[in-house]
Amino acid sequence: MDKDLSAPQSLEESLDPADWGRARALAHRMIDDAIDHLAGLRDGPAWREMPAEVRRALADPLPDQPQSPEVVYDDFLRLVRPYPMGNVHPRFFAWYMGGSNLTGALADFLAAIDGSNLGGGNNAPAQVDRQVTGWLRDLMGFPQGAGATLTSGGSVANLIGHAVMRNVRAGVDVRAKGVRAMAAPLRVYASDQVHSCHQKALEVLGLGAEALRLIPSGPDYRLDMAALAKALVEDRAAGWQPASVIGTAGTVNTGAIDDLAAIADFCHENGLWFHVDGCIGAFLRLSPGHAGMVAGMERADSLALDPHKWLHTPFEAGCALIRDGARQRQTFTLHPEYLEVQPRGVAGAEFLFDYGIDLTRGFKALKVWMALKEFGPTRHGRLVAQSIERSRYLAKAVEAAPDMALMAPQVVNITCFRYDPGGLDEAALKALNVEIMLRLQEEGIASPSDTQLHGRHSLRIAAVNHRTRRADMDLLLHETRRIGQAILQG
């Protein structure tokens, strides 16, 4: 092996391989191994615990001596690849995550080789970013003048929406004066099922967690419009300035979809900003049979969507759409003397960093662009419909089983249920179902997650993955019962 890896190869050292042929052979091996891994995914466990020696090795300090790339890759194969989160596996059902795809993964490699910084400027990668965000804008039914920005994920996409809202609604130049100059505190409304990232965003924006007023949801887990109207009146009397309503197109707990058209009307009548969190459900628009569920979303002032969820873009890729692109620009544009747009040359185009928080931006657009071109919106729409069908299949099987309980209406691709053979109180049911969940995970059968629904514990099955089959749902239910019975029999 290489003896002298630490010694300079020449006076003009770089990070490029000394031997391109050897680098090529290793790169080919990586691709071959990756494709074998992907093709064999279903036969492997949904998850496995890291053995103690792996955990130890992954806490080792940085080696003193450089190592050959083959040795480093071998470490990856041994220590990392066998122990992923598992969200690309067909029986990963936890939280709400996309299943990734080979085209997107290869695009990520190509993007890194290209290496462009998409802060903006006059280059094809930045143009690909503008093109693909334009496609997402069109798919969502937003107008030409809308701003569209790729983000790390839905949390930042929602943050961008709230930031523009704050600056528009502040009543003062909040960029110059800060939130302390506002005459009255802004209030933002959402159902109690809204994602936690919104509270975090309002905290970061200096509005505070109390700026978010949560409206208790009913048995359908949707925003209660009558309670919303009442809250608005109360808050006005109490000195708050109602500013915005968040409609959720697919809540994280149950997949419930707020009445977005009604919220759009309500916001219009009351002069409020209308924000939609479409991180789960925005891509329902791609399925003709389901697009009606999110009717009204296209009327939002701001919309957050998450290509790395139901569009299966490899992490990370979120997207913020702002109806009035000029407002978005006014919120984020800042050009010091070293970042001027020029009439020609490398800086001869608008900078993308004018529309968000990051200055340096990776070429994440490519993995969305290549996959969208290859698969097309129609196939993506079919996959959206397919995962809803899988969830419905599971919900029906749960309803038909005397020892299982459906815990919430199944609306999209989230099914909430628990093993309930009868005679157990809430605390015992929770303990039982948590134990079932952990054993399902530890045995590598499937990875569900859990939640609390109006005070009751539930297993939660998000069937986002495009690889999930009906047989996976059969297995899940069968194994849930087997483990549940085993636990009760001690």
Ligand X SMILES: *Cc1c(COP(=O)(O)O)cnc(C)c1O
CB 319 to ligand X: min, Å: 10
Please, which residue, 248 or 287, has the CB nearer to ligand X?
248
* Residue 364, both tokens: 């994440």
Q: Answer whether 279's CB lies under 8 Å from 306's CB.
A: yes
C-beta of 279 vs 440, nearer to ligand X:
279
Least Cβ distance, residue 469 to ligand X (angstroms):
23
Q: What's the gap between Cα 162 and its chain centre?
A: 17
Which of 156, 174 has the CB closer to ligand X?
156
Pick between residue 302 and residue 480 the one whose CB is nearest to ligand X.
302
Using an 8 Å Cβ cutoff, are 88 and 100 in contact? yes
**Chain-centre distance of CA 99, in angstroms?**
11
Q: How far is the CB of 244 from ligand X (least distance, A)?
A: 15
Q: Strand, coil or helix: what is 240?
A: coil
- Residues in the site for ligand X, rule: CB under 6 A? 96, 153-155, 158, 195, 197, 248, 252, 277, 279-280, 306, 318
Query: What is the closest distance, in whole angstroms, from the C-beta atom of residue 318 to ligand X in the complex?
Result: 5
Nearest residue to the partner ligand X, using Cβ: 154
Provide the minimum distance between the beta carbon of 417 and ligand X in the complex, in angstroms, as a whole number. Answer: 19
Q: How far is the CB of 195 from ligand X (least distance, A)?
A: 3
Q: Rounded distance, CA 105 to CA 88, Å? A: 12
Per-residue buried b or exposed e for 379-396, using 16+ beta carbons within 10 Å of the residue's own CB: ebbbbbbbbbebbbbbbe
Phi, psi of 459 (to 5 degrees): -75, 155
Q: 317 near 369, Cβ under 8 Å?
A: no
Nearest CB to ligand X, comparing residues 154 and 242: 154
CB 31 within 8 A of CB 102: no
Q: Which residue type occupies 408?
A: A
Query: Which has the closest alpha carbon to 454: 215, 219, 195?
Result: 219
Closer Cβ to ligand X, 132 or 279, answer by number: 279
